[in-house]
Every structure is written in C-alpha cells, then in structure tokens.
Amino acid sequence: MNQNKKNMTENTQQGFIPAKSEALKALFNLGLNRHIINHVLAVSRKATYIATLISSRTIDLRLVKIGALLHDIGRSKTHELDHAIVGGQIIREELNWSDKLARIAETHILGGLSKEEALKIGLPPKDYLPKTIEEKIVCLSDKYFIGSNEVSIEGRFENWFNRYGQTELLLTAKKRVEQLETEIYRLMYL
C-alpha cells in the first residue's frame, strides 16, 4: 500500500488529527480572537508538559497537544457553556476531524458534566465527563488558566464563584476538578 493510501485509510479508521499550523489556521479562519488563541496556546503547552511527565500510561501526545488547541473552538459561535458541544460539532461535522478531538472539546467545561447535569442546564443529555487520559489532561490543564494567566484550581474557581456565586454546579465541578488534579498528580509524580 502506498503512503498516501495508507494515511487515508488510517484517517478514515481513526480520525484525522491536524498539524498545529492547520489547527491554528482553522481557529483564525473561524474568527477566534487573540485572547482565546493565547489561552488555547497556553493550555496546549501546559497539557503537553503534564503528558510528558506521565510515563506509566500510554498517552497520545499529539492528541493532547492538538485537542488542547481546539478545545475552545466552539467559542467562535457562542461563549455559553454549550461552546463545548458546539465545538464538538465543528470538529466532527465542519472540519471532519477526529472524534477524539471532538470528545476533548465536549468534555473540557468545568470538570466535565454528567448526563443529568447536562440535562439540567439545557444541553443535549449525554455524558460529557472526561474519561480518557487525554480528555482528563486537557480538562485539567484548562482549569489552570484565566485567559493566558496561570492560576491554581482554587484561583480558577474563586474567579467563577465571584462571578456566578457558589452554585451547586460550580461546587460539584470544583470537587471533580480537585479529584482530577489528584489523579493526574499521582500519575505525574508517584
């Protein structure tokens, strides 16, 4: 099988993951502003760094790096919580890229959302909790930033609490993200 055919087969079977330049081009073409581009670049650097410190698991580094770059692609259409779902749609239906990338976008908001939580806030009822190691790393890495300023999980949630109050949704999310941080730290350092 020649290389092109082989690549095409792999893309069809496993989904296409673009190069960094192609992913960034898509973000610019969709009109994402510099503030968000700087944010996703910072999240992608952090996520890739975390992934390189984990040796006990097989991690698709390219999926982490590009998934982090694309996690907020839905903000080209909405800044509401549904930007995660819209992002998944853009990746799957408009760009025709990997379903794994779409799942990373869908599972990045807060600490992910359960089917019940999604239903409660008017999102299509589906489980949006991060499950794979790549989804978990991107979801956690996103929480370390307000824009492109690095913060602690505490700091990230303080900012949300100040804006929206200590809602049930945010309090559950904080617990979930803290658990996620512990799980990832164990993999990184123990």
Binding residues for Fe ion, rule: CB under 5 A, are 72, 142
CA distance 25 to 156: 28
Closer of 4 and 159 to Fe ion (Cβ): 159
Closer of 10 and 49 to Fe ion (Cβ): 49
Closer of 14 and 159 to Fe ion (Cβ): 159
Whole-angstrom CA distances from 25 to 13, 37, 179 are 24, 11, 34
Residue nearest to Fe ion (CB): 142
- The conformation of residue 55, written as its DSSP 8-state character, comes to -
Tell me the H-state helices in the chain. 3-14, 20-29, 34-52, 61-70, 83-89, 99-106, 115-120, 133-143, 153-164, 168-189
Q: Least CB distance from residue 43 to Fe ion, whole Å? A: 6
Closer of 95 and 104 to Fe ion (Cβ): 104
Q: Least CB distance from residue 133 to Fe ion, whole Å? A: 18
Residues 84 and 128 sit within 8 Å (Cβ to Cβ): yes
Helix (H, G, I), strand (E, B) or coil at 146: strand
Q: Least CB distance from residue 108 to Fe ion, whole Å? A: 6
Closer of 97 and 144 to Fe ion (Cβ): 144
CA distance 30 to 18: 16
Q: Least CB distance from residue 72 to Fe ion, whole Å? A: 5
Q: Least CB distance from residue 109 to Fe ion, whole Å? A: 8
